[in-house]
Chains A and B, each alone.
Chain A
């Protein structure tokens, strides 16, 4: 089969489409009302759903940080453990919020009229970044077991503290490290990872994104065969 034959089949396709009037695009597009539906479509746009999720997360995060700020303010820095613990939880939350705000700006800047490889790379990276923020957020876990510590428990060697509270805090600390190291897209086939990320069926799209990033990397490589010698370079 020659190239011309392939192109000829494609040409037939054009003709067939004219006959079949697939998707009824013509009548749909001719209707000026479509601009109204285009605007409402905006709300349903795939990209906007990602945007809405992140905007919601930012608002929730800001509310949470304000609440923590009020707690700190009410404590007047009286308890060092309370101040440091709440301060650390606040700090991690603020970093997560800033990451989300940065991503919102990146999503808004996504321009589908840029080349396919760059746009798809950016979109996949944005999808995957949600997991990075989630795993980072788990680092605040140990501080939920330290905010109510009392200096006197340590000074006077409280048994309850050393036998119960301290081991629990240590466990939380080790758990946070474990989660930080193990929560990843690669491990999303594990049910507990999905549960901690609160990922519903959409976790499959994260797996797809990860796979697609690898495909794009492969696609960008130039593979040429010169005199039987296989050459691979970056291809950009």
Chain B
């Protein structure tokens, strides 16, 4: 049994890193009705995997591994449960009433990330979160060279998508 102190510390860590969870949920779950389920499942698995956490390892590395693994598994399950959702529709919750340029860019970036396959999507999120190639390689489980090659290909694709829109 974990003590109240451990629980409180866990909650604090979750709250400090809640942005990671939310962004991963938004990137992997097209249906907003399932998004909260995914967030809960990620937090549950973080709590359950707590025993495997090695304090010598960076907390964010461990957290990204758990969150992305859960999200990818959840996403594949969700794809078989619900019909695909229009990417121009409910997926983009970030947009608000004041549809300024920044909000529009966020919506587009989310859309382009969502169009990537599950593994490329994980890499792109890590890249945008400013993780080093070494840390990305550690989280995803491929070589640093491979990370570099893939990141450059994914970036090119996303930039091309933005460029096509501006034509």
Q: Which of A168-224 contact B (CB under 8 A)?
A: 201-202, 204-205, 208-209, 212, 215-216, 219-224
A30 part of interface (Cβ distance < 8 Å): yes
A144 part of interface (Cβ distance < 8 Å): no
Q: Which residue of A lies closest to B25 (CB)?
A: A23
10 nearest A-B residue pairs (beta carbon): A115-B141, A117-B141, A10-B128, A204-B80, A112-B69, A235-B146, A205-B80, A113-B49, A112-B66, A222-B146
Q: List 22 A-B contacts (CB under 8 A).
A: A6-B158, A10-B109, A13-B109, A22-B94, A23-B25, A23-B36, A30-B11, A41-B44, A42-B44, A42-B48, A112-B65, A113-B65, A113-B66, A116-B69, A116-B72, A116-B141, A119-B69, A123-B73, A208-B80, A215-B118, A220-B142, A222-B149
| A contacts with B: majority SS | helix
A163 part of interface (Cβ distance < 8 Å): no
B60 part of interface (Cβ distance < 8 Å): no
Q: Give the residues in chain B near A1, CB-CB below 8 Å.
A: 159, 162-163
A78 part of interface (Cβ distance < 8 Å): no
Q: Which of A1-23 contact B (CB under 8 A)?
A: 1, 3, 6-7, 9-10, 12-14, 16-17, 19-20, 22-23
Q: Give the residues in chain A near B23, CB-CB below 8 Å.
A: 13, 17
Binding site for A on B (CB under 8 A): 7, 11, 14-15, 18-19, 21-23, 25-26, 35-36, 39-41, 43-45, 47-49, 52-53, 62, 65-66, 68-70, 72-74, 76-77, 79-80, 93-94, 96, 102-103, 105-106, 109-110, 117-120, 122, 128-130, 138-143, 145-146, 149-150, 155, 158-159, 162-163
A25 part of interface (Cβ distance < 8 Å): yes
Shortest C-beta distance, A165 to chain B (Å), equals 44
Are B109's CB and A9's CB within 8 A?
yes
| B contacts with A: majority SS | helix
Are A117's CB and B140's CB within 8 A?
yes
Of A201, A202, A212, which is in contact with the most chain B CB atoms at under 10 Å from its CB? A212
> How far apart sit A215 and B22, CA to CA, in the bound complex (Å)?
25
Are A116's CB and B68's CB within 8 A?
yes
Q: Give the residues in chain B near A47, CB-CB below 8 Å.
A: 73
Among A32-40, A92-100, A145-153, the stretch in contact with B: A32-40
Of A22, A25, A112, A123, which is in contact with the most chain B CB atoms at under 10 Å from its CB? A112
Known: A6-B155, A13-B23, A116-B141. A22 touches B106 (CB 8 A): no
Of A1, A13, A34, A47, which is in contact with the most chain B CB atoms at under 10 Å from its CB? A13
A26 part of interface (Cβ distance < 8 Å): yes
Q: Which residue of B lies closest to A49 (CB)?
A: B77
Shortest C-beta distance, A124 to chain B (Å), equals 9
A45 part of interface (Cβ distance < 8 Å): yes
Q: Which residue in A10, A46, A111, A224 is a CB contact (below 8 Å) of B49?
A: A111
Q: Which residue in A10, A12, A25, A112 is a CB contact (below 8 Å) of B39?
A: A25
Q: Give the residues in chain A near B110, CB-CB below 8 Å.
A: 13
Q: Which residue in A28, A114, A201, A222 is a CB contact (below 8 Å) of B143?
A: A222
A164 part of interface (Cβ distance < 8 Å): no
Q: Which residue of B lies closest to A203 (CB)?
A: B80
